[in-house]
Amino acid sequence: MLKAAFPGSFDPPTLGHIDIIARAAGIFDELVVVAAENIRKKYLFSAAERSEMLGRLTEGLPNVSVAVCDSLIVDFLRKQGIRLLIRGVRGTGDFSYEFEISMMNKALDSGIETLFMTADPKYFVLRSSSIREIASFGGDVSGMVPPLVAQALREKRRLGCDNF
Ligand code: ADP
């Protein structure tokens, strides 16, 4: 049984994230998408909102589940009996950052293996932070996120949320 985890902020989930999830779900027997909850970080969407969106977006993928992690990811993985960590890379900038993180995780737990998946060329410019910024000005993000995320972003703006 090959079980892997795909952790991230997913604030909000983008078409790039969904592409990695769908491709990883086709490779591994089980995939757990892990929404990170770091109390030192400010999010636009709460962990409950992010995991709810991820759950709805992965409804069609029976071997995908969603969890929230508010601890070190290596501790979460150990508890779940998962050794494989998936990270998406959009380019060399992402890779050098992700490489360092993977070294840290290896130092914390030598049993963890990080596997990198390259972004689909269609989605490699997509970044949650830019999408939040565009959405905060009322820009059209419909080509960047699934419709339910676009709707949730419009709702945050309508409510005057200032966490963009
Ligand atoms: P972080 O955990 O750094 O806040 P994100 O939530 O933005 O990152 O992303 C989670 C994971 O998805 C990371 O491995 C990131 O590199 C990857 N990722 C983000 N956007 C894309 C994209 N457009 N295509 C492929 N992978 C992506």
The tens digit of pLDDT for each residue in 77-108 reads 999 999 999 999 999 999 999 999 999 999 99
Cβ 47 vs Cβ 74: under 8 Å:
no
Residue nearest to atom 21 of ligand 1 (CA): 16
**What is d(CA 155, CA 53) in angstroms, rounded to the nearest whole number?**
14
Instruction: Give the Å distance between the CA of 88 and the centre of ligand 1.
Output: 6
Residues 102-150: tens digit of each pLDDT:
999 999 999 999 999 999 999 999 999 999 999 999 999 999 999 999 9
63: tokens are 């071997």
Residue nearest to atom 4 of ligand 1 (CA): 9
Laid out side by side, the sheet with 84-89 consists of: 64-69, 30-36, 3-8, 84-89, 113-118
Q: Do you know the residue count of the chain?
A: 164
Portion of the chain with pLDDT greater than 90, in percent: 98
Predicted local confidence at residue 114, as pLDDT: 98
Task: Tell me the pairing of strands 64-69 and 84-89.
Answer: unpaired
Omega before 12 within 30 of 0, i.e. cis: yes
Instruction: List, chain by chain if needed, residues with CB within 6 Å of any ligand 1 atom.
Output: 8-10, 14, 16-17, 20, 87-90, 94, 119, 123-124, 126, 128
Predicted local confidence at residue 81, as pLDDT: 96
From 6, 15, 20, mutation site for ligand 1 pocket: most ligand atoms within 8 A of C-beta: 20
Instruction: Give the Å distance between the CA of 158 and the centre of ligand 1.
Output: 26
DSSP label at 61?
-
Amino acid letter for position 105: N
Predicted local confidence at residue 13, as pLDDT: 98
Positions annotated as catalytic residues are 17, 41, 90, 128
Residue nearest to atom 23 of ligand 1 (CA): 16
From 21, 50, 90, 145, mutation site for ligand 1 pocket: most ligand atoms within 8 A of C-beta: 90
